[in-house]
Amino acid sequence: MGEQAYELKHEKKRKITKKKVILLTIGALVIILVGLFVFVNVFINRSMPQLEGQIKLPILKEEVTVITDSNGVPHIKAANNHDLFIAQGYMQAQNRMFQMEMSRRQASGTLSEIVGEKAINTDKYFRTLGLRRAAEKSYAIYSEESKEVLQYFADGVNAYIHEAIESNSLPIEFTLMGAKPADWTPLDSLTIGKYMAFDLGGHWERQAFNYYLLGEYDDEKAMELFPHYPEEKPTIIKYGEVDIASSFENAIIPNTFNGSNNWVVNGKKTASGLPLLADDPHLGLATPSIWLQMHLETEDLNVSGVIFAGVPGIILGHNDHIAWGVTNVGPDVQQLYLEKRNPEHPDEFLFDGKWEKAEIIDEPIEVADKAAVNFQVTETRHGPVVSEFAEDSGKDAVLSLRWTALDPTTELEAILEINKAENWNQFEKGLEKFLAPAQNFVFASNDGTIAYKANGNIPIYESGDDALLPLPGWEKGKEWKGFIPFDELPTVINPDKGYIATANNKIVGDDYPYHISNMWAQPYRYERIAEVLETNKPLTAKDMKDLQMDATNLQAREFMPVFSEVLKDSNLTKEEEQAMAVLRDWNYIDAKELSQPLIFHRWIEEIEKQIYEKDIPDTMMEMFGAKGQTTDELLRKAYNGDGSIWIEEAGGLKEVLHVSLKNTLTDLKDKFGNDITKWTWGDFHKVQFNHPLSGIHPVLSYFFNNTDSMPVDGSSVTPMAAAYDAEDGEVDHGASWRFVIDTNDMQKGHHIVGPGQFGHFKSKWYDDQMDDWVDGNYHETALNETEGLELKLVP
């Protein structure tokens, strides 16, 4: 018994000891984890922007005050331009340095240096286009004053970079990527500007697609898919209404035009008696926002609005006297040229009967943890050879790209001038330097003027048909004939109808002496905007906000009666009859709680599959720009009895509609269940604003996308623009900034910057405007703001 008792006693001790060891181990792990959490938290918090107190910047001449208001908008007040733009660069870098770094790398073709080999093709593409080479050419023609502004801004950015590296307080994204930013340069800002011109396009892909069509099908079938703008649909400027004079007094008063909506309304139609202006540029939706809202003030400047992170000034917004906004004109500013290569000297190309030597540019691509990739770009007289990016359309030819944005241009000078403009004449004078991308500018001032100009370098073609296809690069007669003279660009000032609106619809009628474009957006957004603005009700800023959030679908209003009539004698199943009954009971609003928008938009997608999928490969479908406009026109032709080869070959209109409806319902049942009454648009159509690193790992998604996807109204054809991925419904393109102002009170503007102002995921302003973006809740930003977090930047 004694021995047994001894064993029991020691067994008990061993268990106690083991338990203590486990508890001590757990305790130690908890301490380590807590310590790690605290360390990581402190490390992450170290990179939070400093918004209060004092920061010493020896490069300043005088003290600068920065007040960050309750919506995260920095109000920068300086004694001079030198200090103002240094401060703007510093504050942008504090807030958005990682975004700025990724933007300049994407545009310059240097992502591979930090991302690795998966970015090589992307880098090759941007090295081929040569946005940075174009920025270098542009910098050479900038005025000394503008170069100084660019350098001041770069100095401010670099002050932050050096400080953050020394204090180990760079944003966490740099640590995750294993990278540090190099010094910022004026060329970085200009290259980002060139990237925005790229983002707004110019139709070379559609020329390549048209070229492909003519090679694959007979002329009649191919040309049926060539761009058309429906007859009797509105343009901004109609017959006899183009102001081609240079002076305000000689303006022709007209009736009343890609990605984005804007409009201005004169005082006769407003409750305040002075103009209203609204603008919502449609760009990619992501975190951080593509825009950064700021307010800049010196003795001779007081301007508020938005700018791209990495660029000085304010590109869109208002000052004490004027307000302005833009949409994309969408002109034919990109032209593919077929080039004949000398078989004996591959770097020579034929032009006007002679061989010309092309420029061969070495563009070695540095790759993280890999050997550098030797890459060369060939540039003909027209521009870079882009054949390898033209898919099947370029397999038997060398294709080069002529593009206005690759020319030397001076957009920053224009921005600096229009920021200070006090009236239309001064504003229009500034626009002379805004050359690429071509934009529809709308303008309003507190002197009562409203105006519009389709501004930028728009090439002169021999014929509008020339811009539909690649041109023979060896023919001298196929060169551009210069650009439309500034004084002859489409212009409208104080029209009798009382408003001017643009939504990427066609700008001018057939009487306009110059070609603008063959590619226009579907007219539905413009038509709905005009429908509301033509009301006799005195309009207010609230009405403008409501219109920006308007989800009325005029495509459905046009086509649902057509679809219903075509299918009325068809042998529909009970389920199909139910779907048609639901659609007939629709108010044509793309509201997130309704089932009809889900059925209609998926149906349209299935119609396009029925028409095109059998004949056109996926690689070429990606180049089928403005496909929706073409599909609409084929449906109109088929319904009106004019015949459509593509629809007839797919079985005729009734067959196309019936099969596509059946496929739509089968697909939706698989995704959302059998009960049609429980389907909603918002089950599919959701917005997230994804961070660029969130797709790498779920943990990063948890931190960087810290708000769930949200159901949202609208679509690509409604004023409340919310275009989405057809596979998963993610809304990834839409109103990147919403802005409304009543010029009766030039001190304040109404804004939404989705999802928020700040780039740091722990900031309260990181995604605080996501709900606002979905629901249409605007914040006010004042030029005389005096309340908020106060930061002093001192020499």
Average pLDDT (607-622) is 91
Query: Would the pLDDT of 250 be above 60?
Result: no
Average pLDDT (349-370) is 95
Cβ–Cβ under 8 Å, residues 567 and 658: yes
pLDDT for the residue 786: 86
Q: Is the pTM of this model over 0.85?
A: yes
Query: Would the pLDDT of 257 be above 70?
Result: no
Q: 623 falls in which pLDDT band (50, 70, 90)? A: confident
Query: Would the pLDDT of 359 be above 90?
Result: yes
DSSP, collapsed to helix, strand or coil, labels residue 794 as: strand
Average pLDDT (192-201) is 90
- Phi and psi at residue 262, to the nearest 5°: -155, 155
Average pLDDT (589-604) is 98
Query: Would the pLDDT of 240 be above 60?
Result: no
Query: Would the pLDDT of 620 be above 90?
Result: no
User: What span, in angstroms and rounded, lies between the C-alpha atoms of 306 and 493?
Assistant: 25
Write the pLDDT tens digit of every residue in 459-484.
999 877 788 889 999 999 999 999 99
* Percent of the chain whose pLDDT exceeds 90: 77
Query: Would the pLDDT of 396 be above 50?
Result: no
pLDDT for the residue 18: 55
More confident residue, 388 or 190: 190
Query: Would the pLDDT of 374 be above 50?
Result: yes
Q: 392 falls in which pLDDT band (50, 70, 90)? A: very low
Write the pLDDT tens digit of every residue in 308-352.
999 999 999 999 999 999 999 999 999 999 999 998 998 999 999
Length of the chain: 795
Average pLDDT (495-508) is 93
Mean pLDDT of the chain: 89
Average pLDDT (513-539) is 94
Q: 234 falls in which pLDDT band (50, 70, 90)? A: very low
Write the pLDDT tens digit of every residue in 21-74.
554 555 444 444 434 344 455 668 889 999 999 999 999 999 999 999 999 999
Query: Would the pLDDT of 99 be above 80?
Result: yes
Cross-strand pairs, 403? 334
HSE-CB for 125 with a 13 A CA cutoff: 12
Torsional sign, CA 676, 678, 680, 683: negative
Write the pLDDT tens digit of every residue in 143-165.
999 999 999 999 999 999 999 99
pLDDT for the residue 5: 57
- Name, in order, each residue with C-beta under 8 angstroms of 41's C-beta and a sequence gap of 6 or more: none
Alpha helices, H only, 47-143: 81-108, 112-115, 120-129, 131-141
Write the pLDDT tens digit of every residue in 407-423.
999 999 999 999 999 99
Write the pLDDT tens digit of every residue in 710-734.
999 999 999 999 999 999 999 999 9
Q: What spatial distance separates the first Cα and last Cα of the chain, rounded to whole Å?
A: 87
User: What span, in angstroms and rounded, lies between the C-alpha atoms of 731 and 722?
Assistant: 6
**Adjacency order of strands within the sheet including 276-280:** 499-502, 261-265, 276-280, 738-742, 748-752, 779-782
User: What span, in angstroms and rounded, lies between the C-alpha atoms of 752 and 38?
Assistant: 34
Nearest to 490 by CA among 513, 468, 469: 513
